[in-house]
Amino acid sequence: MSSLTLVALVDLPFVLLFVAIIAMISWPLIIPIVIGAILVLIYALSAQAKMHALSETSMRAGSMRNSTLIESLSNLETVKSFGAESRIQTIWEKTTIF
């Protein structure tokens, strides 16, 4: 859970209390509040799917970059003996760009 979700859960009882008080004063006044809450919820759910896909891609790119680094460092003597520094550097640059 992110900190924003935690803040929203803490604020939820106060929102419900204020909506209840506004409903006691005049119930038609809560219609814009409910419509706004539904619109924000729909937007948040649609954005969540996109954010999940972006975080997956970012984690995959970081993993590829780290694996290239670890592989080249652990096999440094072999890389130098075969003169494959430019190949490893090319792979590193491609993963960094990705």
Instruction: Output the tens digit of pLDDT for each of the chain's 98 residues.
Output: 567 777 778 888 998 999 999 999 999 999 999 999 899 889 888 888 888 888 898 898 888 888 888 888 888 888 888 888 888 888 888 888 87
pLDDT of residue 51: 86
CA 89/CA 98 separation, integer angstroms: 14
pLDDT of residue 83: 85
pTM: 0.55
